[in-house]
Amino acid sequence: MKGGQRIVDNLVSNNFKGKIYPINPNSEGDLFGLEFNRSVLEIEDDVDLAIFYVPNRKIPSILEECVQKGIKGAIIEASGFEEVGEKGLQLRDQIIQITDNFSKIRIVGPNCMGLTRIDADSDKGDEKGGFFTSFAVFYQYKRGNVAIISQSGMLNGGYLMYNLEKYPELGLRYSCSIGNKMDLSEIEFLEYFIEDNTVNVIAIYLESFKDPRKFIELCKKVRSMPDKTIILVKGGLTTQGQKASLSHTGALAENSQLIKAIIKQSGVIQARSFYELFQFARTFSMIYKNNITLPKQGNVSLVAGSGGAGTISADLTIEYGLKFPILGEKTYNALINIFPEWMPPNRFALVDIWPAMEKAMMNKTNPEIIMNEVYKLLLGEEKVEGILSMMFCSSRFRSVNNYQAVIENFNHTSKPIFFWLIGEVKEINRVSRLLSDNNIPTFPSLEDMIKNFWILVQESKSKIY
């Protein structure tokens, strides 16, 4: 199937409620029951938006017809503009002339994967869908509180689908591919998402800043909002990266000191890669869904199911600038009772829970009661702003990782709780699903877990109330 057909498929199969007019001067008959028109000028109704999936050279003449028809917006998905040099720049100049410098018609793209708005989950039958204009067809998705603005189509297409499969609990509200941003850019989309209260997390990938001053101003506005976070990956931080972005979205080289200054002033969370971008977005998405208070001091407690992991975790936690507070007398004394005499707990909030579990098992106490008690104590400790947990999952030792019993506790706290799960892959997946159904994120490694806690502290420090 060609790209144009896939776009119509995406609109139709995802329940777009408006009218769709496929246009092809060379086609007769219909597409998914929609009759072809040979030109927009043949359409009798008014048209709000034109979506282009035609080779770059054919765009100016069709765009002229769109202006004539009075269409106010266009999404141009074709590539071959600023990013290919001279010929592409000529095409751009033609477009600027035809649109009277984008005053007659506003343009998303070119060189993009369209816009997506999700209104209801893909498994919601007739209610599913929203507005899907990518040439990548979306089959599985959830509505959520994350909005994506990206200069890499991959982030709105294949890589996005990959992440929706990887993080089945990750819900999206919008996914906007802005391509070369010849007209509309991160600025307009950011303005829109700031006003939209269904959006908590704005995940952005940029190869260039369209208007740094305005960008900083908008980010500052977000810094004063308690329910929104911006995460940014900036491509083209190095000379080689800039060369690559020039041939990708036609982004012109930016001074790397200037880039650093913009990011710093904007106060956004910076991600180094797409991997971090999605992981951070998922974390904040869950944080907002559970009304979690962002940790201000970085005072964390670590609950570890292994001494060696405890040591490494302590090192990495400290390296990230987080701290283990000294436990209050009340908490410490309560822990002493739970722990065996031969292995008393630490005075600081690093809890190797294993000896307490062993003691419980020796006394024929269900270990989940102990686990529940330890979490309750730590969550009740004033100085502890959140909990990092390292747990071993095995179906053969299910009693030590039966989180069903602990979830209740988790649902009544405003402190973040993160998990790093190891053990049998199947059992990890089971526990992970249980936790993420309750908006408790799990991470594939210790460092990911710590890093994601650290960004919460960054975000809290960046907030201006």
Min CB(130)–its own copies separation in Å: 22
Asked if 444 is part of the footprint of its own copies (rule: CB under 8 A), the reply reads yes
Residue numbers 348-367 binding its own copies by CB under 8 A:
348, 350, 352
Asked if 447 is part of the footprint of its own copies (rule: CB under 8 A), the reply reads yes
Q: Which is nearer to its own copies, 313 or 372 (CB)?
A: 313
290: Cβ contacts below 8 Å, ≥ 6 apart: 438, 439, 440
Q: Are 40 and 64 in contact (CB under 8 A)?
A: no
Q: Which of 41, 318, 369, 464 contacts its own copies by CB under 8 A?
A: 318
DSSP 56: G
Asked if 394 is part of the footprint of its own copies (rule: CB under 8 A), the reply reads yes
Q: Which of 23, 62, 155, 231 contacts its own copies by CB under 8 A?
A: 155
- CA distances to 357, 390, 416 from 344, rounded to whole Å, are 13, 19, 26
Min CB(73)–its own copies separation in Å: 24
Asked if 314 is part of the footprint of its own copies (rule: CB under 8 A), the reply reads yes
Asked if 254 is part of the footprint of its own copies (rule: CB under 8 A), the reply reads no
Distance of CA 367 to the CA centre of its chain: 36
Min CB(395)–its own copies separation in Å: 12
Q: How far apart are CA 138 and CA 158, in angstroms?
A: 10
Number of residues that bind its own copies (CB under 8 A): 69
Asked if 283 is part of the footprint of its own copies (rule: CB under 8 A), the reply reads no
Q: Is 279 exposed, middle or buried (0-12, 13-18, 19+ CB in 10 A)?
A: buried
- Written as one letter, the residue type at 127 is E
Q: How far apart are CA 180 and CA 251, in angstroms?
A: 7
Q: Which of 80, 212, 325, 328 contacts its own copies by CB under 8 A?
A: 80
Residue matched to tokens 């710590």: 450
Q: Are 269 and 455 in contact (CB under 8 A)?
A: yes
Q: Which is nearer to its own copies, 40 or 304 (CB)?
A: 304
Min CB(423)–its own copies separation in Å: 5
Min CB(8)–its own copies separation in Å: 17
Q: How far apart are CA 151 and CA 155, in angstroms?
A: 8
Q: Is 20 exposed, middle or buried (0-12, 13-18, 19+ CB in 10 A)?
A: middle
Residues in touch with its own copies (CB under 8 A): 80, 83-84, 87, 150-155, 158-159, 161-162, 165-166, 205, 207, 233, 235-241, 243-245, 247-249, 272-276, 306-319, 324, 342-343, 346, 348, 350, 352, 392, 394, 422-425, 428, 444-447
